[in-house]
Structure 1
Amino acid sequence: MSVLVEFSMFPTDKGESVSRYVSRIIKMIDQTGIPYRLTPMGTVFEVNSIEEALEIINSAYKQLEPDCNRVYSVVKFDIRKGRTGRLEQKIKSVEEKLGKKVKK
């Protein structure tokens, strides 16, 4: 099974720039060894079960909990049985289709 998760999480009580808080979460995800992609608006990662996905989300919150009084988060799941490696495959599929139609 493949569970793709796209999420953003950040404190709302720390001013305009929250990158130092977001970097805590990214460091934690990086240390897990799971595949992920940081984007300007959030992070996408892939795990093998919904339980693993929820553990990562919970761990992300725990990075902010000690010194953040208010945390905002949006989480999306794409769960598919019988597949793995979709973090790479979904992008590759679109790029292949674009390559057939776009002149370079």
Structure 2
Amino acid sequence: MSVLLNMAMFPLDNSENKSKSKEVSEIIQIIRDSGFKYQLTSMATNIETNTLRQALDLIEKCYNKLEEIGCKRVYSTLTFDIRKDCDNRIEGKVKSVEEHIGKVSK
């Protein structure tokens, strides 16, 4: 099974002019330490887990970290693509497009 998760999560309770990179870095550290494949982008992070439970547990750990560091309001978007008969889709889906048009990422 492959669970692709596209996730953005950051606090809203600080000044809107303040960068959120410090708090986002805390989340990325948790994702990196999880051992799951992931891709950080400028707007969200793509993560591939083996089960939905693993993805949900990871989301909860990320939220708990923001709560632990004092965030009182958290914004998050979550999108899932769950497929039982595949794996390594975090790379495979990009490669599939590249087979048609060439390299797409710089």
Q: The TM-score by the shorter chain falls in which range?
A: over 0.9
Task: Render the CA deviation track for 1:69-99: whole Å, top value 9, x for unaligned.
Answer: 1000000000001100000000000011103
- Structure 1 residue 3 corresponds to structure 2 residue 3: yes
Other structure's SS at 1:90 match: helix
The alignment-based identity, stated in percent, is 48
- Which residue does 2:50 correspond to in 1? 48
Larger Rg: 1
Which stretches of structure 1, 4 residues or more, deviate above 4 A after TM superposition?
none
Other structure's SS at 1:64 match: helix
Q: Using the alignment, how far apart are the partners of 2:8 and 2:36 within structure 1?
A: 17
Q: TM-score, normalization: structure 2?
A: 0.91
1:27 deviates by: 0.4
Q: Which residue of the other structure, out of 17, 31, 34, is the alignment partner of 2:33?
A: 31
Instruction: Note the residue ranges of structure 2 that are not aligned, 5 or more in a row.
Output: none
Bigger mean CA offset, 30-39 vs 8-17: 8-17
AA partner of residue 10 (structure 1): F
Q: Using the alignment, how far apart are the partners of 1:10 and 1:33 within structure 2?
A: 21
Kindly tell me the number of residue pairs found equivalent between the two proteins: 99
- Structure 1 residue 71 corresponds to structure 2 residue 74: yes
Other structure's SS at 1:65 match: helix
Other structure's SS at 1:84 match: coil
1:65 deviates by: 0.5
- Which residue does 1:102 correspond to in 2? none
- Which residue does 1:80 correspond to in 2? 83
